[in-house]
């Protein structure tokens, strides 16, 4: 397996396939680099170099109890991109990975990043607060924390239903997709996932979004039951210097999987633009 050992001794697993302009994919909570396999296969076939890592505590990376903070997540990515000597890269993040992209590009991307993409992402902020009165209520976030800490195996089965919009009338429910989500989640550390709920729900990205000076495509499903469209994607694009919003009526949070053909085509168009 390919790994890098970062400053605090944590090993970060990554995949690195192909040549050409690098596309770096950042996964959501509580998943792994495997969640991007469909996109990595597609863009590899189109001549790009595709990279994805397992965030610390997730997937095949070290199940450490340290460093569960968005600044550390971004610093881990910075160490990996430096090792791989990535230049002119495009960073693409889904959900929590979109927050990681936002923080990384704002803090470390100068001269290294060409563009960025936020898909169904948590910025500018996720949980309800004075600054985000329409955000996800703390009670809902606490239920995610509780499920992760004490009922993880069943909770991870249950959450796939709203994640992929499988509770909507006429939805084509894929047990394979649900089981793959569960597999990825159960590979990681319960403690790391528990801490990551705090990170994804409480971190604010208002200043990061304003600081980014490269083109950013914000892609968001209008039926996202995890990161509600009006308070995340639609707000993020207003804070970006060079932001572009592409919203999808009826698409769920997990649209890179359920609607991969459409998402891949739109990503390719933005990358080539």
From first to last of the 273 residues of the chain, give the pLDDT tens digit.
799 999 999 999 999 999 999 999 999 999 999 999 999 999 999 999 999 999 999 999 999 999 999 999 999 999 999 999 999 999 999 999 999 999 999 999 999 999 999 999 999 999 999 889 989 999 999 999 999 999 999 999 999 999 999 999 999 999 999 999 999 999 999 999 999 999 999 999 999 999 999 999 999 999 999 999 988 888 999 999 999 999 999 999 999 999 999 999 999 999 999
Residue from 61, 189, 224, 236 carrying the catalytic annotation: 224
Residue with tokens 């009526």: 249
Q: Where are the alpha helices (DSSP H) in 28-92?
A: 37-45, 70-83
In the prediction, which pLDDT does 107 show? 98
Q: Quick check: is 76 catalytic?
A: no
Read off the pTM: 0.97
In the prediction, which pLDDT does 196 show? 98
Residue from 95, 120, 189, 201 carrying the catalytic annotation: 95
Residue from 68, 193, 220, 253 carrying the catalytic annotation: 253
Strands 89-94 and 22-26: parallel
Give 124-171 as a DSSP string.
S--B--SS-TTSB-HHHHHHHHHHHHHSHHHHHHHHHHHHTTTTSTT-
- The predicted-structure confidence for 67-81, as pLDDT tens digits, reads as follows 999 999 999 999 999
Q: Quick check: is 253 catalytic?
A: yes
What the chain holds in terms of domains, given with CATH numbers, is 3-272 (3.40.50.1820)
In the prediction, which pLDDT does 228 show? 93
Q: Which two tokens stand for residue 203?
A: 């971190």
In the prediction, which pLDDT does 262 show? 98
8 Å CB contact between 92 and 267: yes
Q: Quick check: is 224 catalytic?
A: yes
In the prediction, which pLDDT does 231 show? 86
In the prediction, which pLDDT does 12 show? 98
């Amino acid at each position: 397996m390919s790994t890098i050992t970062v400053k605090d001794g944590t090993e970060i697993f990554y995949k690195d396939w192909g040549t050409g302009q690098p596309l770096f994919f950042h996964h959501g909570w509580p998943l792994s680099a495997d969640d991007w396999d469909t996109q990595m296969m597609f863009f590899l076939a189109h001549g790009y170099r595709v990279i994805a890592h397992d965030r610390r505590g997730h997937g095949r990376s070290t199940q450490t109890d340290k460093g569960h903070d968005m600044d550390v997540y971004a610093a881990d990515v910075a160490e990996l991109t430096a090792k791989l000597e990535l230049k002119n890269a495009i960073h693409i993040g889904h959900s929590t990975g979109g927050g990681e992209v936002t923080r990384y590009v704002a803090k470390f991307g100068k001269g290294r990043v060409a563009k960025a993409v936020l898909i169904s992402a948590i910025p500018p902020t996720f949980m309800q607060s004075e600054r985000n009165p329409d955000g996800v209520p703390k009670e809902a976030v606490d239920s995610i924390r509780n499920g992760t800490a004490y009922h993880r195996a069943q909770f991870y089965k249950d959450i796939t239903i709203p994640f992929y919009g499988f509770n909507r009338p006429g939805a084509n429910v894929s047990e394979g997709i649900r089981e793959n989500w569960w597999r990825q989640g159960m590979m990681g550390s319960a403690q790391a996932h528990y801490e990551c709920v705090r990170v994804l729900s409480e971190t604010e990205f208002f200043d990061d979004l304003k600081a980014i000076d490269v083109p950013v495509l914000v892609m968001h499903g209008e039926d996202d039951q995890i990161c509600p469209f009006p308070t995340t994607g639609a707000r993020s694009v207003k804070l970006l210097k060079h932001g572009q919003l592409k919203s999808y009526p009826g698409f769920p949070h997990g649209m890179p999987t359920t609607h991969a053909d459409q998402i891949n085509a739109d990503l390719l168009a933005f990358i080539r633009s």
